[in-house]
């Protein structure tokens, strides 16, 4: 039986993150882009299963890039949606706790983390992601950027918070000014979700 993935529930309405992220962007991003990654991942998995059944190693190897790209797109976006919440429901607010303590220990302050991660997100060449991740071996938080849809796991880190800097995430609203989008998105970051990921995987 071939593994089959589905688009996860969004958990909120497309317009809930306005004015930071428009309903139009959310609709397209979720129903078109993320759905596209899911569809193409499932297709690649079917092709892989066929190649595996035929013991076609060359085809199995050839499918790795499609699996990585579309699988990464699915994994990354599935985390991204949960990392966001409206300002009215607490977006942008990090309460005192173990995550706050780890951020202060690693970066000095939340503002310092935001500044460093924002700078790296804006500087990503082409398409990609900026991530706050956990280095379990070193027991510390790290900021890392990934190209295209490469998942953070390829860097050896556990993903906690991702900022999507593909143009489809912001262009309809922010045009080519990525920096404005990155500056604004911190107002709708669901730090409670980030802390839950931290406590489950890193503490």
Per-residue model confidence as pLDDT tens digits over 143-196:
999 999 999 999 999 999 999 999 999 999 999 999 999 999 999 999 999 999
Verdict on whether the full-model pTM lies above 0.85:
yes
Judge whether 146 and 139 are in contact, CB under 8 Å.
Answer: no
Q: Rounded distance, CA 122 to CA 124, Å? A: 6
User: Which pair of tokens denotes residue 4?
Assistant: 């089959």
Distances (CA, A) of 190 to 38, 56, 90: 24, 44, 7
| Tokens found for residue 43 | 């297709």
Is residue 125 within 8 A of residue 148, CB to CB? The reply is no
Q: What is the average pLDDT value for the chain, to the nearest integer? A: 97
Is 80 exceeded by the pLDDT of residue 2?
no
Task: Give the pLDDT score at 54.
Answer: 96
pLDDT digits (tens, 9 = 90+) for 6-23: 999 999 999 999 999 999
What value does the CA radius of gyration of the chain take, rounded to a whole number of Å? Answer: 18
Q: How many residues are recorded in the chain?
A: 203
Q: What is the mean pLDDT of residues 69-92?
A: 98
If pLDDT is split at 50, 70 and 90, which confidence band does 40 have?
very high
């Amino acid at each position: 039986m071939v593994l089959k993935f589905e688009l996860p529930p969004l958990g909120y309405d497309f317009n809930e993150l306005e004015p930071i992220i428009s309903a139009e962007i959310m609709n397209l991003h979720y129903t078109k882009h993320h759905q596209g990654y899911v569809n193409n991942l499932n297709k690649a998995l079917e092709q892989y299963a066929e190649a595996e059944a035929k013991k076609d190693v060359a085809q199995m190897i050839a499918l790795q890039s499609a699996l990585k790209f579309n699988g990464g797109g699915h994994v990354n976006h599935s985390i991204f949606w949960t990392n966001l919440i409206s300002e009215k429901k607490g977006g942008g607010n990090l309460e005192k706790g173990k995550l706050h303590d780890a951020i202060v220990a690693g970066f000095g302050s939340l503002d310092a983390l935001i500044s460093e991660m924002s700078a790296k997100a804006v500087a990503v060449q082409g398409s990609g992601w900026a991530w706050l991740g956990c280095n379990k071996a070193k027991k510390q938080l790290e900021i890392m950027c990934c190209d295209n849809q490469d998942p953070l796991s390829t860097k050896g880190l556990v993903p906690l918070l991702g900022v999507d800097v593909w143009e489809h995430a912001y262009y309809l609203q922010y045009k080519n000014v990525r920096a404005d989008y990155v500056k604004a998105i911190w107002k709708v970051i669901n730090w409670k979700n980030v802390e839950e990921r931290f406590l489950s995987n890193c503490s």
